[in-house]
């Protein structure tokens, strides 16, 4: 699993020119240690799709928050946090501690679920 990710990262790095640093960044972020399929299931279970449009999750067409498509290519989370694995899982678990006025609720997401959700979100193109 990890060696496949590494091989892919090397392949993309070899094909990459200066213009695709965002792709390299996304690939670097993919090795989260979480499970993409568990993350997809968790997103459905927590009801993230009530507020977000999320490809691959049935009924996730919410328009309250930004679409989560291509989140791995974005530089900032919620306009404030640099997009790292730690910051993404922190935001998913405790958005109010980042920005007390955000509309995104504290949903009681566990640490494991947040890691799986991050793996899933970073897999979205
Ligand atoms: C009640 C609506 C609501 C629910 C439910 C919700 N969110 Fe959000 N979410 C938001 C809003 C609004 C923002 C924009 C936050 C801001 O900028 O303050 C946001 C922002 C985000 C961001 C940052 C997006 C970006 O482009 O920077 C991520 C990632 C995210 N949410 C993931 C999740 C996940 C995962 C869940 C489920 C565990 C979830 N959200 C549930 C409303 C919601």
Question: For residue 50, is it within any domain?
Answer: yes
Give the distance between the most distant pair of CA atoms in the chain: 43
Cβ of 51 less than 6 Å from ligand 1: yes
- Number of structural domains (the chain) is 1
- Which one-letter DSSP state was computed for residue 82? E
**pLDDT tier for residue 10 given thresholds of 50, 70 and 90:** low
Distance CA 89, CA 119 (A): 10
Question: For residue 110, is it within any domain?
Answer: yes
Cβ of 29 less than 6 Å from ligand 1: no
Instruction: Quote the pTM value.
Output: 0.82
Question: For residue 3, is it within any domain?
Answer: no
Question: For residue 2, is it within any domain?
Answer: no
Question: From the CA atom positions of the chain, what is the Rg in Å?
Answer: 15
Taking Cα atoms as reference points, which of 75, 120, 44 lies closest to residue 52? 44
Question: If you take atom 11 of ligand 1, which residue's CA is the nearest one?
Answer: 65
Residue 67 structural domain: 32-123
Q: What is the pLDDT of residues 23-79, one digit of tens each?
A: 544 544 457 889 999 999 999 999 999 999 999 999 999 999 999 998 988 999 999
- Taking the alpha carbons of 33, 52, 45, 77 in that order, is the dihedral positive or negative? positive
Question: For a pLDDT cut of 70, what percent of the chain falls above it?
Answer: 76
Cβ of 48 less than 6 Å from ligand 1: yes
Cβ of 99 less than 6 Å from ligand 1: yes
Question: For residue 96, is it within any domain?
Answer: yes
pLDDT average, residue stretch 105-112: 98
CATH no. for residue 61? 1.10.760.10
Question: For residue 39, is it within any domain?
Answer: yes
Question: For residue 6, is it within any domain?
Answer: no
Question: For residue 37, is it within any domain?
Answer: yes
Question: For a pLDDT cut of 90, what percent of the chain falls above it?
Answer: 69
């Amino acid at each position: 699993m990890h060696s496949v990710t590494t091989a892919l990262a090397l392949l993309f790095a070899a094909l990459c020119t200066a213009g695709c640093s965002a792709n390299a960044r996304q690939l670097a972020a993919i090795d989260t240690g979480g499970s993409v399929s568990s993350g997809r299931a968790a997103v459905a279970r927590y009801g993230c799709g009530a507020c977000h449009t999320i490809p691959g999750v049935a009924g996730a067409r919410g328009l309250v928050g930004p679409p989560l498509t291509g989140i791995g290519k974005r530089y900032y989370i919620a306009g404030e946090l640099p997009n790292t694995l730690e910051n993404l899982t922190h935001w998913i678990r405790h958005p109010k501690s980042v920005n007390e006025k955000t509309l995104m609720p504290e949903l009681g997401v566990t640490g494991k679920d947040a890691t799986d959700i991050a793996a899933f979100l970073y897999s979205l193109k």
